[in-house]
Structure 1
Amino acid sequence: MIITTTPHIEGHDIREYKGIVFGEVINGVDFVKDFAAGLTNFFGGRSGSYEGELIQARENAIKEMEQRARQIGANAIVGVDIDYEVLGTSNNMLMVTASGTAVIID
């Protein structure tokens, strides 16, 4: 399945718009990752533990969006947007939402 942020796919005509599809993932960040990220913040550098959480959450949100598009008979998704939020009283939850328009292309 072609998944793109653009409104159309070069070389393909959109035959039918099936509707907007979403994929949502909420991941908690555990104490160990939070502690490791705190050390990185103190000493400087990139936080591999948080980056890993972010990458995994984004990939899962896109997979979920793709599954929902397939369920309604689409073979591509255009206009994809990915949003990130932190949730929880301690901001220890990461929410990633992927959305786009499910379409049928030639």
Structure 2
Amino acid sequence: MLLTTTNTLQGKEIIQYFGIVSGETIIGANIVKDFFAGITDIVGGRASSYENVLREAKERALQEMSEQAKRLGANAVIGVDLDYETVGGGNTMLMVTAAGTAIRYK
């Protein structure tokens, strides 16, 4: 499954549009990650535990979107957009949404 943020596929002919597909993931950040991220904030550096959670959530959302597109008969999703939001009480959950247009190209 080809995923792209562009609205066209250079050198390819789009033969069918299936419409909008999306994938959503909500992941909670646990107290251990919060603790280590807090230490990183104090001493400086990157909060790799949060980066890993973000990466995992993004991959899950993209995978869910790709699976939805495949079920429609698509072989690509164009115009992919990723959105990141915090949700839940105290903003303790991370929501990642991937959305795009499912297409078939040749």
TM-score tier (shorter)? over 0.9
Superposition map of 1:1-106 within 5 A: 1-106=1-106
Q: Report runs of 4+ in structure 1 exceeding 4 Å deviation.
A: none
Offset at residue 15 of structure 1 (A):
0.6
Letter aligned with residue 78 of structure 1: I
| Structure 2 residue matching 1:90: 3-state secondary structure | helix
RMSD value, Cα: 0.6
Paired with 2:53 and 2:27, the residues of 1 have a C-alpha distance of: 8
**C-alpha deviations, 1:29-51, integer Å up to 9, x for none?**
00000111111111111000000
Q: How many residues end up aligned between the 2 structures?
A: 106
Letter aligned with residue 63 of structure 1: Q
| TM-score of the two chains, using structure 2 as the length reference | 0.98
| Structure 1 residue matching 2:86: 3-state secondary structure | strand
Paired with 2:14 and 2:65, the residues of 1 have a C-alpha distance of: 19
- Structure 1: stretches of 5+ with no match in the other structure: none
Offset at residue 56 of structure 1 (A):
0.4
